[in-house]
Amino acid sequence: RDKALPAAEKELAAATALAREVGGDQYSEANLEKLMPWDAAFWTERLKEKTFDLKEEELRPYFALDAVLKGMFELIERIFDIEVREANGKVEVWHPDVQFFELYDKESGTHVASFYLDPYSRPADKRGGAWMADCQGKSDALGIDVPVAYLTCNGSPPVGDKPSLMTFREVETLFHETGHGLQHMLTKAIVGDVAGINGVEWDAVELPSQFMENWCYDKPTVYGFAKHYETGEALPEEMFEKLKQQKTFGAGMMSCRQLLFGMMDMELHSNYDPDGDETIFDVQRRMADIYTPYAKPVDEDRFLCGFGHIFAGGYSAGYYSYKWAEVMSADAFGAFEEVGLDNEEGVREVGRKFRDTVLSLGGGVAPMDVFTQFRGREPSPEALLRHNGLA
């Protein structure tokens, strides 16, 4: 909070200045003392457009699915010593678009896991979104030694001679779901209930997935696959710089918002007395005074009535896990940064340690113990603050 709040106030001031500059007389200081919540969101987005002038569709030609997959598999081989081999035709699939891959330990040559990739949108018979699911989990009792995962996305399919082209957000999503898949597939746990992602505590389950997203901002990794599908031209440097800058845009307000939601959730489920003098909306206003004093809810605000995450979505007293997972994943990536992302031997050594702890131990070891085995200490927020430009 101490780092995020000053940044959030500056971000809101910048959005307010733009509104007063181009929004007309209704946004003058005489007519509007401060931006209302709905205005703040609108003008923050206009400020982002003005600052970066970068549209997602402009990036698609540089992110062809096959090239992205090849680059991601090379990264997995580089940091985890795992080779991903195409194995189409070895198994039956439910749609011609579905691909099948096998993972091999490079040192021993052992086949350790497999996964199906269903990459394209099919609105008629496939729900939207992206997810990783367990097809076959490692289990000594069931005699299953080779885990199998489903990785499902909803990208644009190829059209004619044009390959499947991805937005940068879709690239991040692919890396994210692959992180979940790697934890499922590279587990060494042999008891099914705690193998892979099974039994992993709620606030640690996003660690491998968000960790993998960090590599989407590592220049050598991105430039290994970000090439125009027709010309072979590399992604222009200014576009990549804007992508990195966009990642931290509004980081102060977003951090304060997440802190508010997490702490308000905990307050409601830990300390709130429904028979007391406070209403849930009083609690909301009291917590907003602490975490978002620059944007207090209006009297008519009934956001909590629709905050399904903490009442019906499984995040009761657990919303904090979103931010906590960011802390852990950024700190884990920080271990690679500390040895130098261009230090191949160092990256391999840290990657092997990540594989042998976070990706291997499953839910049978407490997440804090797993992280401490990998990092040598408990998680620190310093890497996340640095990545978000708030250090």
Task: Provide the annotated active-site residues.
Answer: 177
Whether the Cβ atoms of residue 7 and residue 265 lie closer than 8 Å to each other: no
| Closest to 1 measured CA to CA, from 267, 195, 258, 203 | 258
Nearest residue to 211 (alpha-carbon basis) of 179, 174, 186, 246:
179
Q: Can you spell out the DSSP letters for 36-72?
A: -HHHHHHHHHHHHHHHH---HHHHGGG-BHHHHHHHH
Parallel, antiparallel, or unpaired for β 148-155 and 111-120? parallel
Q: How many angstroms separate the CA atoms of 103 and 85, rounded?
A: 6
Q: Which residues contact 191 (CB under 8 A, 6 or more apart)?
A: 139, 140, 141, 364
Q: Which residues lie closer than 8 Å to 174 by C-beta, 6 or more apart?
A: 68, 69, 72, 130, 151, 153, 166
Q: What 3-state DSSP class applies to 160?
A: coil
Alpha-carbon radius of gyration of the chain: 23
